[in-house]
């Protein structure tokens, strides 16, 4: 079996979950022992009732469906054990959603001291997450204190990263503990961004935390924007910055992006960043990207990743810019054929042509369709050419545009 950071056995084999470890209870009234809240628990099991599986008799019986109407108060003293069991954790999660404040406090008083152990546990992390969703503000803040000093290790851990995200989402961003938590990542931003777990935490910081508290993240990205935009996780974080940060924070990011547009549009991850700017960016940033694409529409349209960017350019450019892009492929010749003809047969570029037909002004659309018409017979031979024919037929039927026969006459002569 495997052990997690706390040394607990987490094999998927039946019975491999940890034995119950009792946690010391805090003396404060908010976190008082649960026995004071529910002195008359219906089920009486001693801690010594441990089954061969390593589970308590109570948990073993619960797993065997002996107690179909079990309530939270019935498992007092066993909250930690249930939280670290697949079925027990699910039971607590469901009950917490509709629990009274007293029932929530019963659970909370048993998990607080060992909260970190649950945060990094395959099943326990979900119980902590439920408290960030359904707990009182005092309970959320008390759990956040348990995170303090451990933000980096939790952010990089498979289960802990989910807990951090829930804390950022459900604790008001003006609470001091949120600023303190985020600041623990200072000096570790790039490590987190490139990590399969940590990148989600950085994204959630950018989404939920007030922008003025994120300056250190922007600073860490300086000179790194190209490298991060071409990284499978970094490209997502860059997009969150563009969505949520202040203009003065996004400006240096955009400046670096514009220096590398040509490489980024052809990158398997970078193309998404450029598409994002085209969809959500300022007009001047869109225009800079369109300017980089112009003059190379044919080549980029035939590229697996760049073709997606060309489609977005055609869709989100200004009317004047769109007309120039479409005119480029209509007027450009490649040997005996127009660039348009080459694009129609291509597995990627044919989608760009379809998009051009969709978004062109009516007069320019007619020009495109007339350019295509001489090639109708040839296009039928190509898998991707058929897509264009289907698009033409749709417009022919819908708008009654008279292009002559799109399908050959009965005798096959054209």
* In the chain, domain spans: 1-135, 148-241, 260-400
Q: Can you tell me the distance from the alpha carbon of 356 to that of 364, in angstroms, rounded to the nearest whole number?
A: 9
Tokens coding 177: 């503990």
Distances 67 to 44, 94, 292, 391, 409 between C-alpha atoms, Å: 13, 15, 67, 62, 76
| 1-135 topology per CATH | 1.25.10
Contact yes or no for 211/246 (Cβ under 8 A): yes
- What pLDDT sits at residue 58? 95
CATH of 260-400, one of 1.10.357.10, 3.30.470.20, 3.30.413.10, 1.25.10.10: 1.25.10.10
C-alpha–C-alpha distance, residues 116 and 133, integer Å: 17
Give pLDDT, residue 331.
87
Gap between the Cα atoms of 79 and 110, Å rounded: 6
Q: Which residues of the chain have pLDDT under 70?
A: 1-48, 334-336, 399-414
pLDDT of residue 401: 55
Q: What is the pTM of this model?
A: 0.81
Q: Which residues contact 161 (CB under 8 A, 6 or more apart)?
A: 154, 155, 197, 198, 200, 201
pLDDT value for 335: 63
Q: Do the domains 260-400 and 1-135 match in fold?
A: yes
Chain centroid to CA 223: 24
């Amino acid at each position: 079996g495997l052990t997690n950071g706390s040394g607990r056995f987490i094999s998927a084999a039946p019975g491999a979950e940890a034995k119950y470890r009792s946690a010391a209870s805090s003396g404060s009234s908010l976190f008082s022992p649960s026995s004071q809240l529910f002195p008359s628990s219906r089920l009486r099991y001693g801690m010594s009732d441990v089954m061969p599986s390593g589970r308590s008799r109570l948990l073993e019986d619960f797993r065997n469906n002996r107690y179909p109407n079990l309530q939270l108060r019935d498992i007092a003293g066993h909250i930690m054990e249930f939280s670290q069991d697949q079925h027990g954790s699910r039971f607590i999660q469901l009950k917490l959603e509709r629990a009274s404040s007293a029932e929530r406090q019963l659970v909370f008083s048993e998990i607080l001291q060992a909260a970190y152990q649950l945060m990094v546990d395959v099943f326990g992390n979900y119980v902590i997450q439920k408290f960030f969703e359904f707990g009182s503000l005092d309970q959320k803040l008390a759990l956040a204190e348990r995170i303090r000093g451990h933000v980096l290790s939790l952010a990089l851990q498979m289960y802990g990263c989910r807990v951090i995200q829930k804390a950022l989402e459900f604790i008001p961003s003006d609470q001091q503990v949120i600023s303190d938590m985020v600041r623990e990542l200072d000096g570790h931003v790039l490590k987190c961004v490139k990590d399969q777990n940590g990148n989600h935490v950085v994204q959630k910081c950018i989404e939920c935390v007030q922008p003025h508290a994120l300056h250190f993240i922007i600073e860490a990205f300086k000179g790194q924007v190209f490298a991060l935009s071409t990284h499978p996780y970094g490209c997502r974080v860059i997009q969150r910055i563009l969505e949520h940060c202040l203009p003065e924070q996004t400006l240096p990011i955009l400046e670096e992006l514009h220096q590398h547009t040509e490489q980024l549009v052809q990158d398997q991850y970078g193309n998404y960043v450029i598409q994002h700017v085209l969809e959500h960016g300022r007009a001047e940033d869109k225009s800079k990207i369109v300017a980089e694409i112009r003059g190379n529409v044919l080549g980029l349209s035939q590229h697996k990743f760049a073709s997606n960017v060309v489609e977005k350019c055609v869709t989100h450019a200004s009317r004047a810019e769109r007309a120039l892009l479409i005119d480029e492929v209509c007027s450009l010749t490649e040997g005996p054929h127009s660039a348009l003809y080459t694009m129609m047969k291509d597995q990627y570029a044919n989608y760009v042509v379809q998009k051009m037909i969709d978004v062109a002004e009516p007069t320019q659309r007619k020009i495109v369709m007339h350019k295509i018409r001489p090639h109708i017979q040839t296009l039928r031979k190509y898998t991707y050419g058929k897509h264009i024919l289907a698009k033409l037929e749709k417009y022919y039927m819908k708008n009654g545009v008279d292009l002559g026969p799109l399908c050959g006459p009965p005798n096959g002569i054209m």
